[in-house]
Chains A and B, each alone.
Chain A
């Protein structure tokens, strides 16, 4: 059983396109996250939702819009893709959202914008 799953695993697309990445967790956690890992390997938080409510919204372009239909799902929609959006996007979840907890990561979505 996959605890945190993401689709798609790979995404190759042209500049200017709009794409979505989906994430689901079956751990019963209340909090979910989106991270971006760039070519320099830094993992940076983008968004966090707790029980479908946005609690972390880092300074990312407003072309990125998260949506949480329920606490087990967190999707990421990206409009007007740019070359600099190429990265690995990881979804994660944790029980309550406090910074003391373990976060469980999905396998990542490798996005390449051409």
Chain B
């Protein structure tokens, strides 16, 4: 099983829609998780951290299911500016981060 797996998408949604996608991880010892956002031809930037069961930041909600070892990201009221690739990031035991390949979201007008 890969360290981090994501549905690559693309998720193509209209403005105002809700979109959600998951990330599964293999390291059951991981305590915290991250969602990074990467715009086309840009660097990744932290979107949000997930430390307990979940986290909410405006229109973005991340949920953690430790029993099934997955993290989800939900975007409500999608904006055109939400179009990006969302990277699921899981810390490993040796100070490294493991990045998923990303889920691409395209919000259309």
For window 1-58 of A, CB contacts with B under 8 Å fall at 40-45, 48, 55-56
A102-B49, A107-B43 in contact; A41/B96 too (CB < 8 A)?
A: no
Number of interface residues of B (CB under 8 A): 21
- Looking at A41, A45, A56, which has the most chain B CB atoms within 10 Å of its CB? A41
Which A residues touch B92, using CB under 8 A? 99
- CB pair B95 A55 closer than 8 Å: yes
Point out the residues of chain B lying under 8 angstroms from A106, CB to CB.
Answer: 43
Q: Do the beta carbons of B102 and A41 come within 8 Å of each other?
A: yes
Taking Cβ atoms with an 8 Å cutoff, the residues of B that contact A are 31-32, 34, 41-46, 49, 85, 87, 91-92, 94-97, 99, 101-102
User: Which residues of chain A have a CB within 8 Å of any CB of chain B?
Assistant: 40-45, 48, 55-56, 90, 97-100, 102-103, 105-108
15 CB contacts below 8 A, A to B, read A41-B85, A41-B102, A42-B99, A45-B96, A48-B95, A56-B95, A90-B43, A99-B91, A99-B92, A99-B97, A100-B31, A102-B34, A102-B49, A105-B45, A107-B43
